[in-house]
Amino acid sequence: MGAAKAALESLARYFAVALGPRAITVNCVSPGFVLGQAGTLDETVISTLPPEAQQAIRDWHKGGWTPMRRLATPADVGGVVGLLCAREAGFITGQTLHVDGGASLMDAFSPLQLQGIQAV
């Protein structure tokens, strides 16, 4: 998924430059871990992980590695998409908006337990 997100960001920048003269904006949204519709992880990419890993992700977010201390919801991501579609966002182009509650600002992106690293 990391390579796909990097490619998407690169394409957004390229197309933003190419289509800017036509007043067409191009941006992308990069969500972090997102809860499913029912507030579970059942409908998400991380639902394929073992239950212990899913719980580690929840604990990691609640423990402060995400400044907002929670996982994103579909409404969080949809709100950002709606913002980008608004007329007021018409001068935003070539950008990647990270909808992750600030997780991408932290030093580590994955819980240490998932990386096989023991906390000291």
Tens of pLDDT, residue by residue over 70-100, are 888 889 999 999 999 999 999 999 999 999 9
Q: pTM of the full predicted structure? A: 0.75
Of 27, 31, 8, which Cα lies nearest the Cα of 94? 27
- What's the pLDDT band for 44 if we cut at 50, 70, 90? low
Query: What was the pLDDT predicted at 37?
Result: 63
The pLDDT mean for the chain works out to 82
Of 23, 30, 24, which Cα lies nearest the Cα of 9? 30
Residue 92's Cβ-count burial label (10 Å; 0-12, 13-18, 19+) is middle
Give me the CATH topology for the region 2-115: Rossmann fold (3.40.50)
